Chains A and B, each alone.
Chain A
Amino acid sequence: MNNLDGKRPQALESQTRKQLFRPLLLAAFLACLAPGCATQVIVPKPELAAQLPVVNMSGMKKFYVVHDVEAGRQDDKHFRSLHAVQEALTDHGMPATSGLLSAMPGDTDCKVVIQDHWFWDTYWYLLSLDIKFYDAHSGNLLASGHERRAPPVMRRTPEFMANEVVEAVFPSSLEGSKP
């Protein structure tokens, strides 16, 4: 009688465990699938916009890159943006230099004005980059490009973003160029 009494609760406990275990296992399996499904399907995209050149800019040989607002734009991050745009232009066949607006050489063909917005989220990253191309002599806006990358998985270096904007504004540069 004692043995029987001892077995009954054990059997009942085992059955209860099984009853609980199955739904829990199923829930755990679905929980494992759910984030995978969500992250696989929803992949954010960068915001990229470009206004193509309104005139033929192939004759322009000297580009000069400056910040839109020079006061308060002297730290390493902004220098990096400036340098990234300068390198991107040069790599795409548009020889460029950069610096202060007051130091722009007189023979500059195209003034390139950039606006970079850095943001801090456990580390500094380039949130958005605007590049505007002006005729250095007339001051007319010739072309422009804009990119914004906010989601963590989409954040890129200034070099990558600068190249992307330059290629969006000058699609013909994708074919390669002569230096």
Chain B
Amino acid sequence: MKKSFHHRHVAAITMILFMLAACTGWAFTTPIDYEPGPAAAPTLPCPVALSLSPEFTSYHHSVPGWAYHADFGPALQKYAIFVARSVFGDVQVLDSQGSRPDAKLLLVPRVTSSDLAEHGGVALGIQWDFKDPKTGQTLFTMHVQCETVSPGMNPLAALRRAAAGMMANLTLLTLQRFNASSGLQQLSGH
């Protein structure tokens, strides 16, 4: 009897904590499980530089008045590096301004939209700008966006599952778009 009484209290306290979190603005972080693994042989091999801004690598999404937020930054960093290496192969990742002298292109990804929906809906939009490394002029742009819905009764688990699925789908979609683009083939000299 004592044990079941204790469990009821724990459940009640958890519920109260969730409600307090929602009321006070404190948020549970949804982890993004994303490990793309080693990149395959490049499809459009050429030397490129990849510029990752602090806004991109530390990007997080929070919903005002909602008790969850997602820290997309680390996953986005892995995504951008994996995509660049899978397509172009020879990639220098820049942490500051200025690129390698032999780079044919400067790749600059940025987030255009993000979303966390209740009960397991996650979405992300990425704009890829391909710039002249010497002048910084934008030569080509490509937009990729993806959403994954993975509903469930446990909101945190559902979001975690949806986020992991969304990142995997976003990677696949980006690779398909890059490899199918005649504009990118021309820019990379293929």
The dominant DSSP class at the A interface is helix
Chain B: interface secondary structure? strand
Q: Mark A132-164, 1 if CB is under 8 A from B, else 0.
A: 000000000000000000001111110110011
Q: Do A159 and B120 touch across chains, with their CB atoms under 8 A apart?
A: no
Given contacts A152-B119, A156-B115, A164-B145, contact A175 B151 (CB under 8 A): no
On chain B, the residues within 8 Å of A167 by CB distance are: 143
Q: Which residue of A lies closest to B64 (CB)?
A: A123
Assess the B140–A160 pair: CB atoms within 8 A: no
A40-B180 in contact given A157-B113, A160-B145 (Cβ < 8 Å): no
Q: Taking the complex as formed, is B36 at the interface, i.e. its CB lies under 8 A from any CB of chain A?
A: no
CA distance A178 to B139 in the complex (A): 6
Whether A152 contacts B117 in the complex (CB less than 8 A), given A160-B125, A163-B145, comes out as: yes
Which residues of A sit under 8 angstroms from B177, Cβ to Cβ? 174-176
Q: Is B153 an interface residue (CB 8 A)?
A: yes
Q: Is A35 an interface residue (CB 8 A)?
A: yes
- State A159–B184 Cα separation when bound (angstroms): 25
Check A39 against B151 for contact (C-beta < 8 Å).
yes
**Chain B, 130-148, contact with A by CB distance < 8 Å: what is the 0/1 string?**
0000000011111101010
**Assembly CA distance A126 to B45 (angstroms):** 42
Inter-subunit contact A163/B112 (CB<8 Å): yes
Q: List chain A residues, Cβ under 8 A from B143.
A: 91-92, 163, 167, 173
